[in-house]
Amino acid sequence: MNVRLRDVTDADLPLIERWLCAEHVRRYWGEPEENIRLLRSPTGARLRRALIEADGRKVGLVLWQHPSRQELDAAGLFDVPEDVIDVDIMIGEAADVGRGVGTAAIRMVAEAALADPEVPYVIAATSIDNRASQRAFAKAGFDVDRDFDDVQSGRCVFMTRHRQK
Ligand SMILES: CC(C)(COP(=O)(O)OP(=O)(O)OC[C@H]1O[C@@H](n2cnc3c(N)ncnc32)[C@H](O)[C@@H]1OP(=O)(O)O)[C@@H](O)C(=O)NCCC(=O)NCCS
């Protein structure tokens, strides 16, 4: 499939809201209300997001940002610098899950982030039972670094992708 990332426009927001409510997404992204509120808020300079298109169809959303020191410390990730980039993703269309689109989108974001010499490495945190996510990040060049306790999501796997891959 031909996977492409493009800017999110206001016209995409109702579709993304529908994705946030889909059972397979809310299972790992949490209850949709807060995510919808964040989606509708100004993103600011810190949070970047892109719509994922596969063969010209809108299928998902990828977000990336520098985590704050407070967020990292709350997760016990005291050694992880704020200069890293943290990636979050959803394939919102259930029929498009498991077709390699997530891996391709993660790889694109990671490679773009690592093109910035100020970014030491790229990170992702997935729920310990989210095997599909761990597999997609692994296929995109991420390695498991450790497990940790996330305030919201419980036990999580912390994964990193360094520049040499
Ligand atoms: C996680 C997600 C983004 C991955 O995207 P995707 O396009 O489905 O991923 P891919 O098709 O590239 O790869 C998925 C891999 O996981 C594997 N997989 C799927 N379910 C699995 C399971 N229960 N256990 C182990 N592996 C599993 C697939 O077989 C595939 O690996 P393979 O190519 O070696 O066979 C997508 O499934 C999704 O949006 N899920 C809901 C939201 C979510 O969990 N977001 C991530 C939060 S961190």
Whether the pTM exceeds 0.85: the reply is yes
Instruction: Confirm if 48 and 63 have CB atoms less than 8 A apart.
Output: yes
CATH superfamily ID and name for 3-161 = Gcn5-related N-acetyltransferase (GNAT) (3.40.630.30)
Question: In the block, which residue shows the tokens 């490679």?
Answer: 111
The DSSP code for 10 is G
Spans of all domains in the chain: 3-161
Buried b (16+ CB within 10 A) or exposed e, 9-34: eeebeebbeebbbbeebeebbeebee
% of the chain beyond a pLDDT of 70: 99
Question: 60-80, pLDDT tens digit by residue?
Answer: 999 999 999 999 999 999 999
102 lines ligand 1 (CB under 6 A): yes
Residue 160: which of 123, 128, 132 has the closest Cα? 123
Q: Is a pLDDT exceeding 80 seen at residue 12?
A: yes
Answer yes or no: is the C-beta of 135 below 6 A from any ligand 1 atom.
Answer: yes
24-64 confidence digits (pLDDT tens): 999 999 999 999 988 888 777 789 999 999 999 999 999 99
Distance 97 CA to ligand 1 centre (A): 7
Rounded distance from Cα 103 to ligand 1 centre (Å): 8
